[in-house]
Amino acid sequence: MATSAFHFPAFHAFPPSYTRQPVRATREKQVSLWCDLMLAFCKHRGDFWVDMAEITQSELFVNAAINRRMKGEDVVFLFDELVNRGDAQWDVQGAGKTRCLVFWRSPAEWGDLVYTYIDRTGQNNSVMTLYELRCSDMTKGEPFHNLDLDLMLLALQSLELANKAAIFEGAKSDQLGVKFL
Amino acid sequence: MGSCLGREETKPAGAGTKAATEKDVKSTAAAPASSVNAAASAARVEKAPPPVRPKVTVTPKDQAVLDVKNGRDQLEQYRKRTDVAIAQQDQVARQLVKEGKLERAKLALEMKQLLQTKVNRADKQLRNVEKLLAEIESTALSKEIIEGMEQGNLVLKELAKDLTVERVDRLLEETEEQAQLQREIGDRLAANPLSSAEEENLERELDQLMALNAPVPAVANPSTSAVKNASNPTGEKNVSSSMSHPPIDGSAKTKAPKVAASPVPA
């Protein structure tokens, strides 16, 4: 797996990193280091949705070499911090904090990538289905190819806020489409 | 954030430090949140002015196109998953042949064939849908272009309404008249303001001056220098008086060339 090629920073092999630090300044630093690492790790794996149970058991939070692991509740705490930073979003449909959508690229950045593609390929003013944008052969090779549906929607919503796109339903189907300016 | 604090309580910690950590967490949790919000709202305030661009409008035509495209997507998805099923049946058939279960292998191949015909049909449908979409797009484009041209034609008509041939003729006539006038004025200005008598006088004076200057190349001859010196003052006097007494000037003129000319042959 490509995952094994991920290079962990030094603090990952530092035992105190796995316990919540009592001193506030130290803890803030600790949390910030972990949040950055979580983003880098998810980006490396290409993960959009992170399952708490899975990630807690992953090599991100388990360091067998120093016999340390992050407790499940601390993992959720860290993801809460990531959400507070604006770099992630809890699954609103799921019950509780079991899944988290991680923004190693912000929705606005994803939106920009999509819009650049639209501009470059002269598809302004044309209607596209979300499937077409995400999964068709046309967008193969684009960074947003196979982008998670929820993340794509957030990205398009950011474009909508900037009046660069409109998301709408078909006359007969409830499948969403998008029209770019 | 509330639940986050709740978890904090479950964390094993000394009773004395617990309250302190809780307080800390509250402030640390609140601080990033508020700063993020502040940053976000600041960004929104900064970004607010530029989007003056019009909202993207969705027409019924767009919705119809979306419906067709959704149909196409479904066909494409169907084709993808049937392709997978075909490959699976193929794999199964191969495996069964290996195991010697020929009857079941035959069934698997039959299934594969059935799926293949369905995929082919889906492919055809897909092509038809694509054709329809291309047709819609090009027709919509033609319509837009024609509407644009109509608008352009209206503007052209509006512009040309006042542009009559008579108006142009009149304009050209007036311009010609103006040009004629200008030419006359120019001619007048360029015309010689002196009368013919005055002209004659000027000519005479000019000749005189030329005559006085003529001996200059002959200065090298020493015998003539005295004559020249003697004639010079009279010449000068003549020139200065020429303005007031043209007749005297005339006599001087006839005399002077002779005086000047004589040294040259000598």
> Can you tell me the mean pLDDT for A135-146?
90
Give dist(CA A141, CA B61) in Å, integer: 30
Alpha helix stretches (DSSP H) within chain A: 24-45, 52-57, 72-85, 107-120, 130-135, 149-161
Q: What band does A138 get if pLDDT is binned at 50, 70 and 90? A: confident
The verdict on a CB contact (< 8 Å) between B66 and A173 is: yes
Higher-pLDDT residue of B54 and A6 is A6
Contacts A–B by Cβ distance under 8 A? 100
- Burial label for B55, CB within 10 Å (0-12, 13-18, 19+), is exposed
Higher-pLDDT residue of B152 and B245 is B152
The verdict on a CB contact (< 8 Å) between A181 and B76 is: no
Looking at every residue in chain B, the average pLDDT score rounds to: 73
Residue-level pLDDT at B112:
94
- Structural domain ending residue among the three candidates A68, A102, A136: A102
Q: Could you tell me if A94 and A145 lie in one domain?
A: no
Residue-level pLDDT at B250:
45
Give dist(CA B148, CA B135) in Å, integer: 20
Find, in chain B, the residue whose alpha carbon is nearest to that of A175: B70
Q: Could you tell me if A84 and A124 lie in one domain?
A: no
Domain total of chain A: 2
Residue-level pLDDT at B45:
52
Residues 115-154 of B with CB under 8 A from A: 137
User: CB under 8 Å to A11, separation ≥6 — which residues?
Assistant: A17, A33, A37
Q: Could you tell me if A66 and A141 lie in one domain?
A: no
Residue-level pLDDT at B19:
44
Find, in chain A, the residue whose alpha carbon is nearest to that of B133: A127
Find, in chain B, the residue whose alpha carbon is nearest to that of A169: B63
A181 touching B (Cβ < 8 Å): yes
> Can you tell me the mean pLDDT for B133-140?
91
Q: Is the per-residue pLDDT at A4 higher than 90? A: no
Q: Which of B11, B29, B70 sits opposite A84 (nearest CB)?
A: B29
Q: Is the per-residue pLDDT at A76 higher than 90? A: yes
Residue-level pLDDT at A174:
75
Q: How far lies B168's CA from each of B53, B160, B173, B174, B240, in Å?
A: 43, 12, 8, 10, 61
> Can you tell me the mean pLDDT for A66-71?
92
CATH code of the domain in which A33 resides: 1.10.10.570
> Can you tell me the mean pLDDT for B112-135?
93
Q: Is the per-residue pLDDT at A156 higher than 50? A: yes
Q: Which of B8, B33, B69 sits opposite A127 (nearest CB)?
A: B69
Residue A5 lies in a domain: no
Q: Give per-residue pLDDT as tens, B57-90.
A: 888 888 888 999 999 999 999 999 999 999 999 9
Q: Is the per-residue pLDDT at A165 higher than 50? A: yes
Give dist(CA B65, CA A168) in Å, integer: 12
Q: Give per-residue pLDDT as tens, B219-233.
A: 555 554 444 444 444
Q: Which of B36, B56, B60 sits opposite A85 (nearest CB)?
A: B36
Q: Could you tell me if A16 and A92 lie in one domain?
A: yes
> Can you tell me the mean pLDDT for B93-100?
92
Q: Give per-residue pLDDT as tens, A22-32.
A: 999 999 999 99
Q: Is the per-residue pLDDT at B91 higher than 80? A: yes
Give dist(CA B173, CA B184) in Å, integer: 17
Residue A2 lies in a domain: no
The verdict on a CB contact (< 8 Å) between A131 and B51 is: no
> Can you tell me the mean pLDDT for B128-149?
92
Q: Give per-residue pLDDT as tens, B184-236.
A: 998 888 876 677 788 888 889 999 999 888 765 555 555 544 444 444 444 44
Find, in chain B, the residue whose alpha carbon is nearest to that of A165: B56
Q: Which of A22, A131, A161 sits opposite B73 (nearest CB)?
A: A131
Residue-level pLDDT at A93:
81
Q: Which of A22, A132, A166 sits opposite B56 (nearest CB)?
A: A166
Residue-level pLDDT at B20:
43
Q: Could you tell me if A123 and A65 lie in one domain?
A: no
Give the residue from A127, A137, A140, A176 with the most B CB atoms within 10 Å of its CB, the best one to mutate.
A127
Higher-pLDDT residue of B124 and B237 is B124
Which CATH number applies to B60-213: 1.10.3470, 1.20.1260, 3.30.70, 1.10.287? 1.20.1260
Question: Domain span at residue A53?
Answer: 10-102
Q: Is the per-residue pLDDT at A105 higher than 90? A: yes
Check: CB of residue A87 under 8 Å from CB of residue A35: yes
Residue-level pLDDT at B83:
93
- Structural domain ending residue among the three candidates A65, A86, A102: A102
